[in-house]
Amino acid sequence: MVEQMSIQGIRPTSSDMKVKQWQTLGFGLFIHFGVYSAFGGEYKGKPVKQGYSEQIKMWADIPDEAYLNQAQAMTLEHFDPQEIVQLAKQAGMRYIVLTSKHHDGFCLWKTETTSYNSVDNMAGQRDIVGELAEECARQGMKFGLYYSLVDWHAGHDYDYDNNNRISSDLAHYIEAQLTELLTQYGEIVELWFDMGYPTLEQSQRLKQLVAHFQPNCAINGRIWHNQGDFRTLGDNQIPAQALDGPWQTPASIYHETWGYRSWQVREDLTGKVKQLIQNLIAVRARGGNYLLNIGPKGDGSLVPFEREVLEAIGQWLDKHGQSLFGTSGTQLSAPSWGELTAKDDMLYVHIFDTDRQDVTISGIANSVRAATLIESGDPVHVSCKNKELTFSLPEATQHLGVRTIQVELDGQLMIRPDHCTEATQISGDQLKNYYRYADDGNYTTLERMNTKKEIYLETDADSVYVTIQGQARTDKQYRLQVGTAYYDMMGSNLIGITYGPFPVFDRLTPLLLTTHVPYEDLAVEIDQMKLSYHSNK
């Protein structure tokens, strides 16, 4: 049986049903394809080594006429939506996001806003967005779109930071294009905005536009001004710990580029697959979605190495997928040797340090019914000592950089948090810090914020009074919460004033300090927190 002094150990997902459904997708395919793909990272026979290859027009300063000539030569003879969707399904992916328009402004659909599109100005004359959307629907794959707010063809100058402001004329142009994309291509599960520097009002208007036409479409954070449904982290960024709120890591197989690069060195397939599987596990265990990119060639064909990478990941997921899909991260501290995921009464122990003969986990309040190594089906011996579970591993067989143990518990995962106290005086460093990312309108302002502090009070008392000593921003509004009861106050009243009584109903009760605005940094330094407990007995 679960001990009384424990809390639910599975990290909750969003309470917003749209976002919750997006979080369950977990793993998707990003596709960077456009005119830049035909250049393959080269211009005038020489490799362009500066920047990403999908931005080659800027980095090589390619004239408009030369860029258009390349577009008009693209026959797209090997662009095969059926092949792409089948590969994504084989890789275990749940959704596809295609670059409908990158910074170059070239549109991959038949738009009425400009002739600068794949139907009117490519030799192949194909509505690439439409064909892929239709194939996704046919095969039961969710479909999303990338859309750049930067547009060099529609008036933006080159900006190496891509922080271009959006004029009122361009805003109308963007809205017209988005209206086409959101009304002509079926269900859009995700809209992935990128770069630019809109005003708050422009970000809000774009959000309203998407919600009007596609109310179930999740919007990424690069709509800016914290208006998105989930936060897109930096390219290939994996946070060191779980983040507050929904988020996504956009990932490229090689970090140097997203669009096709003909001269990219592609080697060590097994090592690359191991790295990407570990990254996928880390993102899922820390609460995020993983969007892994491929960059087809200019003729639409897939790069063989990228195909092989996806196929290998899919083979691993065929056996291990239950440990990542339908699961969540846990409230346990991340171990140094790997990651943890959980669902219902199942705990999944992912071990990256594959030379280890055993691993130990502290804080689990459950008993273990059975433990099995997924790769082989072999049973794993479990011992319990001093409230620590130790798993002794069978000899390693062939694996792809991770060994995963499926642990059947005696009920839903329950844990004893490591940040709990019986003390009546707490120093600031005893509180657990929670983080999320926020922006002030563009990519270069994206910053990690400390948005919550927490500690669990271990007590038999009926109520508690709380006094905080330290420093806080006087112009911020804070919330001090114990259990479900809370007080709201300005920072000028947070420090040195006693709040309470807070009723205490459980032996372990969370104490939280947050701000009124979810994306604001706490900007508070706690020297000491004094707790005064009272009992009605």
Q: What is the pLDDT of residues 292-350, one digit of tens each?
A: 999 999 999 999 999 999 999 999 999 999 999 999 999 999 899 999 999 999 999 99
> What is residue 282's three-state secondary structure?
helix
Q: Nearest-CA neighbor of 94 among 102, 85, 103, 104?
A: 85
Domain limits, the chain: 26-323, 328-415, 418-534
> What is residue 198's three-state secondary structure?
coil
Report the pLDDT value the prediction gives residue 536, as an integer from 0 to 100: 85
Whether 328-415 and 418-534 share one fold: the answer is no
132-153 CB burial, b ≥16 within 10 A, e <16: bbbbbeeeebbbbbbbbbbbbb
Class of domain 418-534: mainly beta
* 2, two tokens: 């679960």
Average of per-residue pLDDT values in the chain: 96
How far apart are alpha carbons 25 and 22 in whole angstroms? 5
Q: Is the pLDDT of residue 246 over 60?
A: yes
How far apart are alpha carbons 457 and 419 in whole angstroms? 9
Alpha carbon 454 to its chain centroid, in Å, reads 23
How far apart are alpha carbons 402 and 498 in whole angstroms? 50
Element (H, E) at 210: helix 200-213
Q: What is the pLDDT of residues 203-227, one digit of tens each?
A: 999 999 999 999 999 999 999 999 9
Going by pLDDT thresholds of 50, 70 and 90, the confidence category of residue 1 is: very low
Q: Is the pLDDT of residue 416 over 60?
A: yes
> What is residue 459's three-state secondary structure?
coil
AA letter at 437: Y
In degrees and rounded to multiples of 5, residue 13 shows phi and psi of -95, -175
The fold for domain 26-323 equals: TIM Barrel (3.20.20)
pLDDT cut 70: percent of the chain above it: 99
Q: Is the pLDDT of residue 160 over 50?
A: yes
Class of domain 328-415: mainly beta
How far apart are alpha carbons 90 and 84 in whole angstroms? 10
Q: Are 294 and 302 a contacting pair, CB within 8 Å?
A: yes
Q: What is the pLDDT of residues 120-132, one digit of tens each?
A: 999 999 999 999 9
How far apart are alpha carbons 314 and 147 in whole angstroms? 28
